[in-house]
Structure 1
Amino acid sequence: MRPLRYSINVTLDGCCDHREGIPDEESHRYWAASLGRADALLFGRVTYQMMEEAWRLPATGEWPDSMPDEMIPFARTIDGAKKYVVSSTLDQVDWNSELVQGDLGTAVRDLKAQPGDGLFVGGVTLPLALANLGLIDEYEFVVQPVVAGHGPTLLAGLHERVELRLVGRQEFGSGAVALRYEPV
């Protein structure tokens, strides 16, 4: 059974807005390695479309000149990864992707039951639903040294408290800290 890991950047006040606490070169290397530990990515529609817009290799086969060199390994990792997309509004997906349909719990349990190293889920809404179903095996937060003062916030609306134990920690030169937890 492959584990489902929820990974996201978050500010000190719990904000998960992708425009806050923007990763630097060191954290992009960290995220590329973290994504590399997964066989596939699991996204909701909003995260999938946002990631595709930002990280899909252009038809030219070249990354835009505006993309800093330190982001290219991260971009290559996301672009090349197998992706599963949970959506009730999309009829089809491409970009190495497959739609996940039907009952969310059943579909994700089936994905987890396949052999492999793991699944990576990002975003806000889908991970909340998965946490409420008790399907997340690891929580990975890179806490950025920023107080955003607005939302969306991390796992807002969680039905029950989830007890976690720290299984990994890494500090970055920027003051960000990567924390990995498993449910107790």
Structure 2
Amino acid sequence: MRTLRYSINVTLDGCVHHEAGVAPDAELMQFWTADTERADVLLFGRVTYQMMEEAWRRPTDGVWPDWMSAWEVPFAESIDAKPKLVVSSTLGSVDWNAELLRGDLIESVRRLKEGPGGDLSVGGVRLPLALANAGLIDEYVFVLHPVVAGHGPTLLAGLDELVRLEQVDRQPFASGAVAHTFRPA
């Protein structure tokens, strides 16, 4: 069975908003590149898909934008090339190596996990909550940043039931951030 992994940056007060002061440095970007490379398929909701596409899709001229540092290019190339499944009831179509995942979300993800292939990776806020509530997430990777945001969406807010986790890995970074990997206990 394929592993479904949820990976996200989080502040000390639980904020998971991408603008909460948790921008990765070169070392963290290497971590996120490896995390992306580990997955066969990326699973996004509409909001995360559109946000990632805007930031990381290779421009039509093939040249990465000037704002992108050299240490961000490997991540950009990795995420740009990965197949993506997008959960959305409002989008009529997607591209960027993507297709829409239609039908019953929980049953569709169960079938994906039972199918052939390597790991699945989910990102975002609302979609992982639905999958966690259904007990479908096999691994949680939280990169905890030494920042207090004070606002924004929080990690798995609205979870139906307590999910007991056991830590299986811990990786500190020079920035003070620490990647914690957990599996359901």
Instruction: Write the distance in 2 (CA, Å) between the matches of 1:51 and 1:110.
Output: 25
Give the C-alpha shift of residue 116 in structure 1.
2.0
For the pair 1:117 / 2:118, whether they are aligned, the reply is: yes
Partner residue, 2:157:
156
For the pair 1:6 / 2:10, whether they are aligned, the reply is: no
Instruction: Write the distance in 1 (CA, Å) between the matches of 2:2 and 2:116.
Output: 6
For the pair 1:32 / 2:27, whether they are aligned, the reply is: no
Partner residue, 1:49:
50
Residue-by-residue CA offset, 1:44-73 (whole Å, 9 max, x unaligned): 000000000000000001101221111000
Taking structure 2 as the reference length, the TM-score comes to: 0.98
For the pair 1:76 / 2:80, whether they are aligned, the reply is: no
Residue-by-residue CA offset, 1:11-66 (whole Å, 9 max, x unaligned): 01100010121111111000000111110100000000000000000000110122
Instruction: Write the distance in 1 (CA, Å) between the matches of 2:62 and 2:111.
Output: 34
Instruction: Write the distance in 1 (CA, Å) between the matches of 2:8 and 2:92.
Output: 27
For the pair 1:19 / 2:4, whether they are aligned, the reply is: no
Instruction: Write the distance in 2 (CA, Å) between the matches of 1:134 and 1:75.
Output: 30
Superposition RMSD in Å: 0.6
Aligned length: 184
Partner residue, 2:98:
97
**Identical columns (%):** 65
Q: Helix, strand or coil for the counterpart of 1:105?
A: helix
Partner residue, 2:65:
64
Q: Helix, strand or coil for the counterpart of 1:143?
A: strand
Instruction: Write the distance in 1 (CA, Å) between the matches of 2:78 and 2:19.
Output: 21
Instruction: Write the distance in 2 (CA, Å) between the matches of 1:152 and 1:66.
Output: 27
Taking structure 1 as the reference length, the TM-score comes to: 0.99
Runs of 4+ in 1 over 2 A off after TM superposition: none
Give the C-alpha shift of residue 76 in structure 1.
0.5
Instruction: Write the distance in 1 (CA, Å) between the matches of 2:70 and 2:28.
Output: 14
Give the C-alpha shift of residue 173 in structure 1.
0.2
Q: Helix, strand or coil for the counterpart of 1:94?
A: coil
Q: Quick one: which amino acid aligns to residue 163 of structure 2?
A: V
Partner residue, 2:139:
138
Give the C-alpha shift of residue 117 in structure 1.
2.1
For the pair 1:85 / 2:86, whether they are aligned, the reply is: yes
Partner residue, 1:180:
181
Partner residue, 1:106:
107
